[in-house]
Structure 1
Amino acid sequence: MAQLFRKRGIAMIDSFHIDAVEKVSSPQGALRITGRSKDRDQEEIFCDRLLVAYGMKPILEGYGLEDSGIAVEKGAIAVNEGMETSVPGVYAVGDVTGGQMLAHEAEYEALAAVGSMRGKPCPVDRDAMPGCIFTEPEIATVGLTEEEARGRGISVAVGKAFFLGNGMARAMGKTDGFVKVVADADRDLQILGVHMVGPEAASLIAEATLAVGARMTVRQVAYTVHPHPTTSECFKDALFRLL
């Protein structure tokens, strides 16, 4: 994404520490940001708008939680696989439990909680929880990255295909991006993770999520017919790079 942004004339500065933000009257912009980057000790950036996005955290104060006996760990309500708290019969789902804080994650946590209540457990598989960023092009990911898999001592195999060679992407005029598949080389190429940047990535990740969650192999998914011409063929092409 950094390469694509720079290609569009968007400046990217990594690891920038902001020291001060001031309103100024300057032809360069209405705001002056002073800070330090990894390449410079002191730097000034002028702009008209500043968007601060530093993540989220659960809000647990003001609900009497401290008197409930419900355990809190690392600023979030602690739950088991069935989303039950430390107080039997009390369940918690969604942002208050921490995690990635995604709407679809909360939905499936609710399903897991109801399943536990009914005696039909269906725990949420955290290794098969997709995440999407709706930029242009879209970003989508599920499962382990190559680095995470190697960190677990797994022998990793990687397949990669680019949307530049995809018929539908070319017809759409959106050929930036790729699909990367991370598989376990010692376990019949079980799919561990899939990472995408490109057109319709947020929709394509659903098939990859099924593959990761069902512990499917590269061969099983690659030999499933993918219709032509569709962007899903880029996922198929990345899989065939491993066969």
Structure 2
Amino acid sequence: MGGGIELVVLDMAGTTVRDDGLVEQSFDSALDAAGVRAGTAEHQRAQRYVWETMGQSKGEVFDALFPGEPDRARRANAVFERRYDELMAHSCEPIDGAEKAMSSLRDAGVRVCLTTGFARGTRDRLLERLGWRELVDLVVGVEDAGRGRPHPDMIQTAARHFGVVDPRRVAVAGDTGYDVLAGVRSGASVVAGVLTGAHDARALTERGATHVLESVADLPAVVQD
């Protein structure tokens, strides 16, 4: 792998894992449980905020939606996680070519880390259902790093774990503007936005993507000599 890339940091839902609207459906269930009724102006504002902040820690999203109401935010987050788990049990598939891409990167000596805004329990169940425990070198969540996207903490945590001192030796890929912004803030030399998830090419480019790819399957070619 060229450019001295030693570590690739990949988002999960929408980037390596097919989303098919599961995250948005789960947010709708959580909003309903929190008393935010569909069709109201409040619901529309909440949906817009959820879309704009895709990639951020889900707990942080609910804290922002319900400021000063920590119990309401926690209840909404619990409903989100429960509903996502239910949906995931019936629909949990990798993005086409994602597993091959991760395997080829590791075969070439590049470390592969997955990052996610999901809580630890949801993340672990997702990994088990996909059978990815042995496919990647590391998984980092918000609990491990301290702050979620758009902060670069999860990427930097992965880099420290593997002793990668120079951020230019890191490549990042994600499907949301927050994924891209976190990558830019980390100093990664490759920050790729992929078109298999929440945001379109314009949104990814506006946040500073160095590359816009059809999917993560195209990433190995970007970091290869």
TM-score of the superposition, structure 2-length normalised? 0.23
Largest Rg, 1 or 2: 1
TM-score of the superposition, structure 1-length normalised? 0.22
More helix by share: 2
Which gives a bigger RCO, structure 1 or 2 (Cα 8 Å, sep 6+)? 2
More strand by share: 1
